[in-house]
Amino acid sequence: MAGESEKERKHTTVSIPIQLYEKIKKRIKGTGFTSVSDYVTYVLREVIASLEEEEKEEVFSKEEEEKVKERLRALGYLD
């Protein structure tokens, strides 16, 4: 299993303004968040996930799609 050094490698430090830090500290009191870092990580994950959602791309070509539809019809999933 990982030693302490490997665990540490999974996180890095970023700087935020002290005023913002204090605001967040107040905000998370009495919530499930145990540290400012946890809260900031949560918010950033939300933001990144929603940005990635906006960048969606189609995953199949037209030919692939037609082939798939044929199988779906053969199995009775499509009329």
Interface residue list for another protein (CB under 8 A) = 1-2, 6-7, 10, 32, 42, 45-46, 48-49, 52-53, 56-57, 59-60, 64-65, 68-69, 71-72, 75, 77-78
Contact 39, 24 (CB under 8 A): yes
- In Å, how far from its chain's centre is CA 18? 26
Report the C-alpha gap between 20 and 25 in whole angstroms: 8
Toward another protein, which CB reaches closer, 18 or 58? 58
Toward another protein, which CB reaches closer, 30 or 57? 57
Toward another protein, which CB reaches closer, 23 or 71? 71
CA dihedral 28, 37, 47, 11 (to 10 degrees): -160
CB 53, min distance to another protein, A: 7
